[in-house]
Chains A and B, each alone.
Chain A
Amino acid sequence: MPDVEMKPADVKPVKETEEKKEESKPAPLSPLAEIKSNVVLIDRAVTTLEPRFTHRVLRTLTALRKRIDNSVLRNAVESLYPKDHSIKKTLLAWLPTGPSSSDQAMDVDSSARPSHHELVPEAEIYLRLLILYHLLASEDTQEKALELANQTAEKMQAINRRSMDAIAAKIWYAVDRAYELAGELSDARPMFLAAQRTASLRHDDEAQAALINCLLRSYINYNLYDQADKLVSKTTFPPSASNSQFSRYHYYLGRIRAVQLNYTEAHTNLQQAIRRAPPAKTAPGFYQEVHKYFVVVELLMGDIPDRSLFRHVVLEKALNAYFEIVKAVRTGSLAQFQSTLSKHAAQFEEDHTYTLIIRLRQNVIKTGIRRLSLSYSRISLRDICVKLHLDSEEDAEYIVGKAIRDGVIEGRIVHEKGWMECGTQKNAYGPEVSEVFGRRIAFCLDLHNQSVKAMRYPLNAHRKELAAAEGAREREKELAKEIQDGDLDDEDLGPDF
C-alpha cells in the first residue's frame, strides 16, 4: 500500500518560478532542450556557488520526469558530452539502444558541441537521476534501476561535493524507491543509516531530511514503530528542509504518535502534513492517505470530523468507508459500528488503520453514554445496558464509573437505587478561553515575523540606492552652488539686458 500512497508525495510540483512560466508560455520547451538548459543552470549554480539555480532545476524535475523517454535521454547524453568521453559511455550503457537515436543524435551533436566545456560532476549526477527515474517508471527495468541506484550512491559519496547536496537528496529518494520496488527495503537500512550520519555531520540538510524520511518509511513499512520512534527521538529534522519533506515527516510522525495513543500530537502532525502537502489535485494519493489517518485520529480524540471533508472531490470516494465509521461513532451505536467494521475490514487492513479503528470501540461507548447523559437527568443502569447493547448491568456500572472519572460526563452513580444521575454541563467560558486566544494570536504573530524574515532581497541592491543617494546629494550640492553662482550670474547678466 505505501507504494501507491506515497508516490504522489514526491510529485510535488512546487509552484514554478515566474521566469519558468514565461519561458514555457510562448512554446513549451522540448524535454531535450529543457534538460540541456537545466544542465547549464546546474553548471552556473556550481560556478557561482548559488544553490538557488539547482533548486530551480529540481523544481521542474517532476514535470520533466513524465516527459522523458529513452531517446530523449540518449540524445541529451550524446549532445552534452564529447564523443569519446568515459562518462558518456557509462551513462549510455544504462539506456537500451534505440533504432532512431543515432542519426538524431548526430544533428544535435554537431550543433551543441562547440558551446560546451568540461561539465561539472553535478550535471552527471543529475543525468543519472533522470535515467534512474526513467528506469523506475517501468517494471521490467526496475532491477537495472536498483543497480544504477547503488552505483550512483557510491559515486556520489566518492565525489563528495557540497554543491551536490540538493541533487543528492533526490538521488537518495530514488535509491529508496528502487529498493522498495525490489522488495528489499530492509536491506537498504544500514546504508541509509550510515548516509544519514554522514549527512548530519556535514550539515547537509536536504539529504538528511530525505534520508530520515526514507528510514522512517522503511521502519513503518515493516511495522517497527518502536524503532521509528527511537529514530525520531535521536535525530533532529532539519528546519530548513523543503515543504514536501516536512509534509512527509509529519505524516510519519503522525502515524507513530497515533499508534502510541498520543492522539493530540498525532493530530497536530497530520494537520501539518496536510497543510504542507501539495494541492489535493496534484498529489491525490498522499492527500487521501493523510486524511484517512486524520479522520481516525480525530475520532479517537472524541471529535467528529467535518462533514464537508467527505464531500471533497478527491476524498469522497477514498474516504467512503471512513465516513460510515464516523456515522456509527456519532450515533454511538455499537451494533452499527461492528457491522461497518466487518464490512470494510479488508480496506482498513490495507490502509493499516484497522488496529486504530478497533480502538474506536470505547469511543463509541463513550459517545453513547454522553448522549444519554445529555438527554436524561436520571437513568437506570439497566436502561443504559439495553440502549448501548452492553452485556450486563455490572459492566454498565463500571463503564459509567470510568466515563465519569475520565471526564466524559458529569454525574454520579447512586448504587443503592441502581441509577445514574447526570449533572449539569460545566460553563464553557473560563480562563482557558484567553489561553486559546493567546495561542492563536501567538501563531499569527509568529507567522508574520517568519514571513518578514523569509523575504529575499537582491544582493547589493542597497549599493545602487546608496549610489543614487550619493548622486542626488552631489546634484543638490551642484544646484546649491549654481544658485550661489546664479546670484552672481544675475548680476553678470544685468548689463546684457
Chain B
Amino acid sequence: MGSGSGLGGGRRVSVLYFARSAELAGLRCETLSVPREITSLQLWEEIVKVHPRLALIRDQVVFAVRQEYVLLGDQLLVLQPGDEVAIIPPISGG
C-alpha cells in the first residue's frame, strides 16, 4: 500500500478513515509509508494519491495527527513510526 515509500527515512503511519472518508476510501484503516518530515498538506496529498475520491471532502474534514487537529498547510510534521493520522469528516445525523 505504500506510496511515498522508498524515500530514505520513510515512516509507516497508521491512517484512520472515519464516517464519509471511510466510504470514499473504501476502508477504515491502513498503514501508509510517508516521508518522515512532511508538511500537513503534503501528507494529505499523499493520502489523496492513494484515495483520489477523498479530494471531494478536503474542505470539510478534521485532519488529526496523533489525535490532534492539524491545519492543512505548510506546518511541518515530524512523524514517528506508528503515528496515527485520522481523517474525520463531521457527521450530522441524529
Chain A complexes with chain B: no
Q: Taking beta carbons and an 8 Å cutoff, which residues of B are in contact with A?
A: none
